[in-house]
Amino acid sequence: MSCKLDRQKFSTIAHRDHEFYNPTSAEKIDRVLSLIPLTTTDKVIDVGCGRGEMLIRLCGRTGAQGIGIDLNTTFIEQAQQNAVGRVTDNQIMWISQPIADVDMEPNSINAALCIGSTHAFENYQTTLTKLSERVRSGGYILVGEGYWKTPPSQDYLDFLGATLDDYGTHADNIRAGANAGLKPLYAVVSNDDEWDHYEGLYARAIELYTYANPNDPDVLAMQERITKWRDAYLRWGRTTLGFGLYLFLRP
């Protein structure tokens, strides 16, 4: 983009109306979470937890102890507020720092989540490997990742600053788990309506913010970015980029 922009500020505003920071419906997410059997003595981490909705739902349903990790301090503050009355006091620890700086013993976690945040470990394959090192035998790994529904055009790759190898297909994402020594258990993908809702809320939040805050010095950069992002989604993204949730068992 030609204008400088505070990316964390942009993301915080753009996601302000999202229950989940990924294009998956609550019904599908609850379905997947119900397939992760945990007890009150179990531990679960969520890397890139956002406002913590998935972790709160999983810990609230099972009584497990949670650790939510996100670099965005505003998201962590919102997650703490979101958890009030839904889990017990101190049931979830919230941390705002890189996952590499979080002291965690190998094979000490019963379940690990990383939804749309595989960049925290560099890429999808590395995420599976790194989470496997932290999860005990018989534990669960749930990762949310993009995939190519159709081969992307070079124009779309240029817009994203991506390469063809940044994503595989939906089938590739499942095979990657098996290649990492995990047992694929379940997968579900987002449909067009879910993507439209996610992208619609994303654009709406920025448009309303820029309208209501014309004196914000970031307004021009934010307006430029959201216009280009919406156009790219409609031109390429809606038919090209998919998103799936992938549940694995660590043998």
pLDDT for res 1: 37
Mean pLDDT of 68-76: 96
Confidence at 29, pLDDT banded by 50, 70, 90: very high
Looking at this protein, which amino acid is placed at residue 11? S
Mean pLDDT of 8-34: 97
- Residue 233 in any domain: the answer is no
**Cα–Cα distance for residue pair 53/249, rounded to 1 Å:** 22
- Residue 151 in any domain: the answer is yes
pTM of the model: 0.95
- Residue 126 in any domain: the answer is yes
Average pLDDT over the chain reads 96
**Cβ atoms within 10 Å, residue 4:** 10
Of 101-110, 137-146, 161-170, 228-237, least confident by mean pLDDT is 101-110
The domain that contains 68 carries what CATH number?
A: 3.40.50.150
- The string of pLDDT tens digits covering residues 158-197 is 999 999 999 999 999 999 999 999 999 999 999 999 999 9
- Residue 224 in any domain: the answer is no
- Count of domains forming the chain: 1
- Residue 222 in any domain: the answer is no
- The string of pLDDT tens digits covering residues 115-160 is 999 999 999 999 999 999 999 999 999 999 999 999 999 999 999 9
Range of the domain at 42: 21-191+241-249
- The string of pLDDT tens digits covering residues 57-67 is 999 999 999 99
pLDDT for res 2: 43
Q: In angstroms, how far is CA 65 from the centroid of its own chain? A: 20
- Residue 236 in any domain: the answer is no
Closest CA to 120 of 100, 103, 135: 100
For the cut 60, the answer to whether the pLDDT of residue 3 exceeds it is no
